[in-house]
Amino acid sequence: MTSTSENQQLTRTGPGTPMGELFRRYWLPALLTSELAEPDCPPVRVKLLGERLIAFRDTQGRLGLIDEFCAHRGVSLWFGRNEENGLRCSYHGWKYDVTGQCAEIPSEADNPKLCQRMKLKGYPLAERGGVLWAYMGPPEKRPPEPAYEWTEVTPERRYVSKRLQECNYLQAMEGGLDSIHSTFLHRWSVEDDPLLKRDAASAAMIKGDPSPAFLPLPAPGGLRICTRRNVGEDRYFWRVTQFLMPCFNLFPPYGDNPCGGHAWVPMDDENCWVYSVDYHRQRPLSVAELEGAKSGRGVHVPLVPGTFRPVANRRNDYLIDRAGQKARQTFSGVRAVGVQDAAIQESMGVVADRAREHLVATDKGIVMTRRCLLEAAERVARGEPPPGLDQGSQRVRALSRVTPRTLPVEEVLA
Q: What is the mean pLDDT of residues 42-66?
A: 98
Cα angle 101, 102, 106 (rounded to 5 degrees) comes to 170
pLDDT of residue 331: 81
Residues with Cβ within 8 Å of residue 152, at least 6 apart in sequence: 129
Q: How does 194-211 read in b/e, with b if 16+ C-beta sit within 10 Å?
A: ebbebeeebeebbeeeee
Q: What percent of the chain lies above the pLDDT cut of 70?
A: 96
Distance (Å) of CA 365 to CA 177, 180, 233, 359, 371: 7, 11, 26, 11, 10
Q: Tell me: pLDDT of 303 over 60.
A: yes
Question: Reduced to 3 states, what is the DSSP secondary structure of residue 87?
Answer: strand
All domains in the chain, ordered by first residue: 27-141 (2.102.10.10), 154-413 (3.90.380.10)
CA angle 230, 236, 239 (to 5 degrees): 105
Contact of 2 with 174, CB cutoff 8 Å: no
The pLDDT assigned to 356 comes to 93
CB atoms < 10 A from the CB of 42, how many? 13
Alpha carbons 403 and 407: distance in angstroms, whole number: 7
Q: Is 385 helix (H, G, I), strand (E, B) or coil?
A: coil
Name the pLDDT band for 189 (thresholds 50, 70, 90): low
Give tens-digit pLDDT for 85-141.
999 999 999 999 999 999 999 999 889 899 999 999 999 999 999 999 999 999 999
